[in-house]
Chain A
């Protein structure tokens, strides 16, 4: 199994839709988890950390399932501005970035 695996997409959704991404990781000793957002030809930006109990920030909800070794990101009421690549990042002895899932939100 790859260290951090994401469906590359693209996920094409209309405005207002709810969309969810999953990310699986191989190292059961991983300690911290993050979602970053990367716009085309820009730098990654931290979207949110993922806590064991799950956490929400506005329209974004992140969940962690340690037993199955995956994290998820749910985006509600999608906006055009949500179009980007979403990177799953896992911290173990180092920081490992997934290749990203592309989201395209259309009018």
Chain B
């Protein structure tokens, strides 16, 4: 089992460019999550998907969109990147109830110039 995988590992964008971060899990989990982690701050939830076909906003959704493509895949899109979106992005999946134990991918380090 690969667990949770994310691509790309690193990305540099210019302000205004768009990109999609990919995430996939092979643990047959229902829920999936996107977080960002900034220095000196805890992980903050951007969007989540409780099950295939549903998505909901988290704490910091502005500037992002998501797609739950199927049970395995949950992508995060930045339509017009801004320097404030420079961060490390983690995807996670969870078994059982929403917001229960979660398993994280290795992260994507994004820099927006």
Query: A43, A49, A96: which contacts B101 (Cβ < 8 A)?
Result: A49
A residues contacting B by CB (< 8 A) are 4, 32, 34, 42-46, 49, 87, 91, 94-100
Query: B40, B44, B99, B107: which contacts A43 (Cβ < 8 A)?
Result: B107
B residues contacting A by CB (< 8 A) are 40-45, 58-59, 90, 99-107
Query: Are the CB atoms of B42 and A87 closer together than 8 Å?
Result: yes
> Given known contacts A42-B106, A43-B106, A44-B104, is B59 in contact with A94 (CB within 8 Å)?
yes
Residues of chain A within 8 A (CB-CB) of B44 are 97
Residues of chain A within 8 A (CB-CB) of B45 are 94-95
Residues of chain A within 8 A (CB-CB) of B105 are 43
> Given known contacts A42-B106, A43-B90, A43-B104, is B43 in contact with A94 (CB within 8 Å)?
no
Query: Are the CB atoms of B41 and A99 closer together than 8 Å?
Result: yes
Jot down 28 A-B pairs with beta carbons below 8 A, ordered by A: A4-B42, A32-B99, A42-B106, A42-B107, A43-B90, A43-B104, A43-B105, A43-B106, A43-B107, A44-B104, A45-B104, A46-B102, A46-B103, A87-B43, A91-B99, A91-B100, A94-B45, A94-B59, A94-B99, A95-B45, A95-B99, A95-B102, A96-B42, A97-B42, A97-B44, A98-B42, A99-B40, A100-B42
